[in-house]
Amino acid sequence: MHPLPLARALALDERVVARPEDVDLAMVLGTGFPPFRGGLLRYADSVGIGAIVERLARRQQEGAPAGPSGKLQQMALSGVKFYKD
């Protein structure tokens, strides 16, 4: 798993973007993220924020420069999702 959910969660947390839909649209149109997944944050919700946190932590242990943010960890523990569906 690429560390993009980390950066995108921070963008929401720091109010760089207003809605998860904005992030997902930018990822699909700007980077070519697969549209059938619904966007990066929709995908993160579908696999579970906890799974994303685990993958990011594992990558950090393998030498990646960053791990899961505190915000993502809080979301995983509380069961909060990016989308309120």
Whole-angstrom Cα distance, residue 63 to residue 78?
Answer: 27
pTM for this model (two decimals) = 0.79
Whole-angstrom Cα distance, residue 9 to residue 61?
Answer: 21
Written as tens digits, the pLDDT of the chain (85 aa) is 444 555 666 677 778 888 889 989 988 999 999 999 999 899 999 999 999 999 999 999 999 888 888 888 999 999 999 998 7
Whole-angstrom Cα distance, residue 69 to residue 5?
Answer: 10
**In the structure encoding, which two tokens stand for residue 73, read together?**
């960890």
8 A C-beta contact, residue 44 and residue 52: yes
Average pLDDT of the chain is 86
What pLDDT score does 67 carry? Answer: 84
What pLDDT score does 4 carry? Answer: 55
> Could you tell me the fold of the domain covering 4-78?
N-(1-d-carboxylethyl)-l-norvaline Dehydrogenase; domain 2 (1.10.1040)
What pLDDT score does 8 carry? Answer: 65
